[in-house]
Amino acid sequence: MKLLEYQAKEVLSSLGIPIPPGVVARTPAEAVAGFEKLGPVAVKAQVPVGGRGKAGGIKLAKTADEARKAAEQIIGMDIKGFKVPLVYCEAALEIEREIYVGFTVDRDARANILLLSAKGGIDIEQVAEESPESIARLYPNPWRGPMDFELTQLVYDAGLGELARPLSAIIENLYRAIPELDALTAEINPLVVTKKGEVIAGDAKLEVDENAAWRHKDLEERYGGVVEGDPYEVEAKKRGLTYVSLDGEIGIIGNGAGLCMSTLDLVQRAGGRAANFCDIGGGAKAEVVENALAVILMNPRVKGVLMNVFGGITRGDEVAKGLVHARDNLKMKLPLVVRLSGTREEEGRKILKQNGIEPGANAWEAAQKIVELATMETPTPAAARPDLPAEEVTLEHPS
């Protein structure tokens, strides 16, 4: 689960990291109220993706009028596919210098890595490429956490010895997000040293492990209801699906991430573009298939659906029956090609054919067939698609 900036800052503040005062605004009027409370503010788009600054999603407001205008411009703006639902108005900082500090999981090392650099700010990736030695690194032992002497070494290695005390404290608190929140990534960039010498989080990014949600129900309750940009991903999440929106026109369902990804590859090879990635996992129960199909069909760009299932334990005839049922329930009119393999594949194919669904002999043929059919397809009338939920999607703000 990726938290928005203001949520990440709430969490970091609860861990003892200094943050500037700020106010969430869903309307320009609320942004003006924020200005009146805080004085000069940065008005910042709240989206769970980087690069909003370069996209015009952050504006400085020195007057109430500027705050209103900034909020007007930013709320509703599209940043990398996310429609901005609200802004965060934060007291502007007098910046003396910008530091980078963060941690993430280093897959190769099978460990967490702490990163610290005196060259913080928006160009940190460039710094990493051009002068990797300017980023100090530490792999804390996962049972012990970072030791004091390791933090001291990290801070001196980054050339930030004169800030050893505040930095060690901030890094120690930031690290608490690992044992206490199952954080996978947490980042403060920039960590601002103000002209007054305070060290304070200018921005914050935080991602927690959804596999550990059962350990952090409070976090899930507080922030899990908050809805991200893409409406199909939001709907898929509600239905418990592993779903990622893409920008093509072929809907994809597969069982297993690897098989699903290789299906995407085949569609592209056949000249088409996938509209999504949707892994229904092992077992492939009828209900899950129906949910997956429903979400895919909500997207008006979709012109055909390819389902690729290899039945290891799953029986092909049962998958076929479930699929036919789902198609009928959803009154699906779009072309549907199914590649069904493994246990009882013959019986499954027979059921599909009897119900007018095209079985592919193998995955590559199935991919070619759906691309062909989708290309011929004329747009379906909107009435034939399941609707998105009627209520408007709104962000909840924990007050």
Q: Which partner in other proteins, a copy of itself, none is near 224 (CB below 5 to 8 A by kind)?
A: none
Q: What are phi and psi of 314, to 5 degrees?
A: -55, 140
Nearer Cβ to other proteins (52/385): 52
The answer to whether residue 139 is catalytic is no
How is the beta sheet containing 276-279 ordered, strand by strand?
A: 242-245, 276-279, 250-254, 304-311, 336-342, 358-360
The CB-of-140 to a copy of itself minimum distance in angstroms stands at 12
Strand order in the sheet with 41-45: 22-25, 87-91, 41-45, 58-61
Q: Smallest distance, Å, CB 110 to a copy of itself?
A: 17
What sign does the dihedral 362-367-370-371 (CA atoms) show? negative
Residue 82 CB partners (closer than 8 Å, separation 6+): 47, 48, 49, 228, 229, 230
Q: Which among 66, 98, 187, 207 is annotated as catalytic?
A: 187
- Considering only the stretches 28-36, 62-70, 258-266, 373-381, report the one whose residues sit in contact with other proteins under the rule CB under 8 A: 258-266
Spacing of C-alpha 123 from chain mean position = 22
Site string for other proteins, 149-188 (x = CB under 8 A): xx-xx--x----xx-x-------------xx--xxxx-x-
Of all helices (H) and strands (E), which one includes residue 199? strand 199-201
**CA–CA distance, 386 with 388 (Å, rounded to integer):** 7
CB nearer other proteins, residue 214 or residue 382? 214
Q: Which stretch binds a copy of itself (CB under 8 A): 29-37, 49-57, 136-144, 292-300?
A: 136-144
Q: Which does 13 bind (CB under 5 to 8 A by kind): a copy of itself, other proteins, none?
A: none
Footprint of a copy of itself on 139-158 (CB under 8 A): 141, 143-144
Separation between Cα atoms, residue 115 and residue 15, nearest integer Å: 19
User: Any idea what DSSP says for residue 274?
Assistant: B
Nearest distance in Å: CB 191, a copy of itself: 28
Active site residue 220: no
Q: Which of 351, 355, 356 is nearest to 340 (CA)?
A: 351
Touching other proteins, residues 223-252 (CB under 8 A): 246
Q: Which among a copy of itself, other proteins, none contacts residue 262 (Cβ within 5 to 8 A by kind)?
A: other proteins
Which of these, 105, 94, 109, lies nearest to 187 by C-alpha position? 105
Residue whose CB is less far from a copy of itself, 149 or 390: 149
CB of 339 to other proteins, least distance (A): 10
Nearer to a copy of itself, 143 or 149 (CB): 143
Residue in 216, 168, 207, 162 with CA at minimum distance from that of residue 186? 207
Residues 121-150 close enough to bind other proteins by CB under 8 A: 124-125, 128-129, 135, 141-144, 147-150
Selecting among 88, 100, 223, 232, the annotated active-site residue is 100
Which residues from 319-348 bind other proteins, rule CB under 8 A? 341-343
Residues acting as catalytic residues: 100, 187
Question: Would you tell me which residues interact with a copy of itself (CB under 8 A)?
Answer: 141, 143-144
